[in-house]
Structure formats: structure tokens, C-alpha cells
Amino acid sequence: MSNKIGLILGEEDNKFIIIREIESDEFEGIYEAHHIKDKQLFIVNFGLAQEYQKKISHDQYHIYKHIAYSDNVRPTGPVRFSSINTHLKIEHSRRDDLETLGYVLLYLSRGSLPWDNIKAVSNEQKIEKIKEIKMGTSNSTLCEGFPHLLEYLNYAKNLKFDETPDYFYIRSLLRIRFLKLNYKYDWIFDWM
């Protein structure tokens, strides 16, 4: 499943789109019993998606420019899976989609995240507590028992704001883990 999700994000990248709202329930499996190769996984909510590159030329050549870095942006998307940069009000970019996906994959693998079930007097306090726990939890602690997700999360968090992610590397990383566990491509996504 994670390999397929990595492929989806790479395809959206080719369309200059960042999703900004990735949750465990935003993926939908489409199945056809007689055509196993046609089974696909889709992201079903693009409500907060935006272009991360803008066309700045209208002549015969199209030139695209990455959106500008900003550190005063209203956070978007579900707090549970938000990137640390989103908590810090930094403009969302491809690296944040990847970090968010890392939290989703960890949630699906572990069954919970350290900041789940936080109690607070107000929603603002809850968001602040979640941010503090995320920032205070090392990747190695968060990914204990899931070394492939540790490597993935380290990669995602070390990307620069406008850096193009290496989706081939990401899919390879997730596929290697898949093969080491002797999983088969049966197209059954076990969290569904």
C-alpha cells in the first residue's frame, strides 16, 4: 500500500499539486474481482489541494516558479497528521505531504501515534500540545520497530522547501521493506 501511495504522490507532483490533507481515511481501494491488475488506490479528497508551482509565462514556452516560502501561513489539514512545518505556520510544500504521509503510514503500522488522545481545555491548547509532542519526539523513537519508515521520515523532513522529492527513491525504499517481509502483491490493503 505504501508503495502505491508513494506512486500517487509522485503522479500528483507531475501535476504541480500538493495535497495538504492526507489522512488514513483519504484513500479508497477500487477493486474488480476478475481484473487484479486493475485494482487501484485513490486519494479521494482534494479539498485543500493547491498548486505548488505557478505559470509565469504565457508565450510559446511555459516557465513555472515554485510558490514562495512564507512563515506566517494559517495551518491546514488534520492536526493529527500535520507536518511540523505546518504547525510552525510555514507554507506547505511537497516535503510536508511526504512527512504527513509518514505519520499516516506510522499510524496504520502502529495503530496509534504518541499524540493521540491528548486532553486539553481548548482546541488551541490541544493543537499546541500535539505540536510540542511531535517536536519533542525523535524520529528514531517514533519509528521504533519500523526502520524503513525511519529512513523515509528522515528523508522527508530533510527536504528543502522547494526541493523536488526523489519519488523513485521513496518507492524503492518502501518496496525493499515489502520484499524483505515476503509480502505478495495481492492488492488487499489490510487497514480497510
More confident residue, 140 or 187: 140
Domain boundaries, the chain: 2-180
Q: What is the CATH number of domain 2-180?
A: 1.10.510.10
Question: Whole-prediction pTM value?
Answer: 0.72
The confidence band for 111, taking pLDDT boundaries of 50, 70 and 90, is: confident
pLDDT at site 78: 79
pLDDT at site 67: 73
Lowest model confidence (mean pLDDT) among 33-42, 84-93, 180-189 = 33-42
pLDDT digits (tens, 9 = 90+) for 144-154: 999 889 999 99
Q: How many CA atoms lie within 13 A of 109 on its CB side?
A: 20
Asked if residue 99 has pLDDT above 70, the reply is yes
Could you tell me the end-to-end alpha-carbon distance of the chain, in angstroms, rounded to an integer? 11
CB 43 within 8 A of CB 18: no
More confident residue, 45 or 94: 94
The confidence band for 159, taking pLDDT boundaries of 50, 70 and 90, is: very high
pLDDT at site 174: 79
Please choose, from the candidates 43, 48, 41, 2, the residue with its C-alpha nearest in 3D space to the C-alpha of residue 21: 48
